[in-house]
Amino acid sequence: MHPEGAASAAEFGAAVKEFTSALGEDAVLTDAASLREFGDPYAPPEWANPQPALVVQPASLEEVQAVVRIANEHRLALWTVSRGKNNGYGGSAVAHPGSVLVHLGRMNKVAEVNEELAYAVVEPGVSFYDLYEELGRHGHRLWAAVPDLGWGSVLGNAVDHGIGYAPNGDRAASVCGMEVVLADGTIVRTGMGAMEGSPSRHLSKRGFGPTFDGLFMQSNFGIVTKVGIWLMPRPQVYSSCLVSVIDDGDLEALVDILRPLVLDGTITGQPGIFSPLPRADWVSGPWTLRFALYGREAEVDLKIATIRDAFAAIDGATVSENRYHGQPPQEASQTDKVHAGVPNQDMIDEIGLDDPNLPLGHTVFSSIVPNTGAHARAITELFRRHMRATGLPGGQSLVVHGRYITNLGLIAFPRDDRGAAEAVFEIYRTMVLEATALGYGEYRTHVSTMDMVAEQFGFNDHALLRTTEKIKDALDPNGILSPGKSGIWPSRLRGERGL
Give CA–CA dist 481/479, Å, rounded.
Answer: 6
Backbone angles phi and psi of 193, in degrees to 5: -65, -15
Question: How many residues comprise the chain?
Answer: 499
With H, G, I as helix, E, B as strand and everything else as coil, classify residue 2: coil
Site map (CB under 6 A) of ligand ADP, residues 118-157, x = contact: ------x---------------------------xx-xxx
Binding-site member from 70, 104, 376, 399 for ligand ADP (CB under 6 A): 104
| Residues between 432 and 491 that touch ligand ADP (CB under 6 A) | 482, 485
3-state secondary structure of 13: helix
Q: Which of residues 215-254 bind ligand ADP (CB under 6 A)?
A: 223-224
Q: Residue 298, class by beta-carbon neighbours within 10 Å (0-12 exposed, 13-18 middle, 19+ buried)?
A: exposed
For ligand ADP, give the closer residue by CB, 37 or 297.
Answer: 37
Amino acid at 465: L
Nearer to ligand ADP by Cβ, of 78 and 231: the residue is 78
Catalytic site residues? 89, 443-444
DSSP 191-203: GGGGSTT-TTTTT
Rounded least distance, CB 88 to ligand ADP, Å: 9
Q: Which is nearer to ligand ADP, 225 or 335 (CB)?
A: 225
Number of residues located near ligand ADP, criterion CB under 6 A: 20
81 lies in the binding site for ligand ADP (CB under 6 A): yes
* 154 vs 89: CA distance, rounded Å: 16
* CA angle 313–314–320, rounded 5-degree value: 100
**∠ Cα 452 378 258 (to 5°):** 115
Q: Which is nearer to ligand ADP, 342 or 447 (CB)?
A: 447
Alpha helices (H) in 216-341, listed in sequence order = 251-263, 297-311, 334-338
Q: Closest approach of Cβ 122 to ligand ADP, in Å?
A: 11
Specify the residue, 54 or 258, whose C-beta has the smaller distance to ligand ADP.
54
2 binds ligand ADP (CB under 6 A): no
User: Measured between alpha carbons, how far is 480 from 470 in angstroms, rounded to an integer?
Assistant: 15
Is 41 one of the binding residues for ligand ADP (CB under 6 A)? no
Which residue stretch of 1-9, 84-92, 297-305, 377-385 sits at the interface with ligand ADP (rule: CB under 6 A)? 84-92
Q: Which is nearer to ligand ADP, 149 or 412 (CB)?
A: 149
C-beta of 488: minimal distance to ligand ADP in Å? 11
List the one residue from 52, 84, 125, 343 that touches ligand ADP (CB under 6 A). Answer: 84
DSSP of 351-369: HTTT-TTS-EEEEEEEEEE
Question: Does residue 275 interact with ligand ADP by CB under 6 A?
Answer: no
How many CB atoms neighbour CB 431 within 10 A? 22
In the complex, the residues that contact ligand ADP under the rule CB under 6 A are 80-86, 104, 124, 152-153, 155-157, 159-160, 223-224, 482, 485
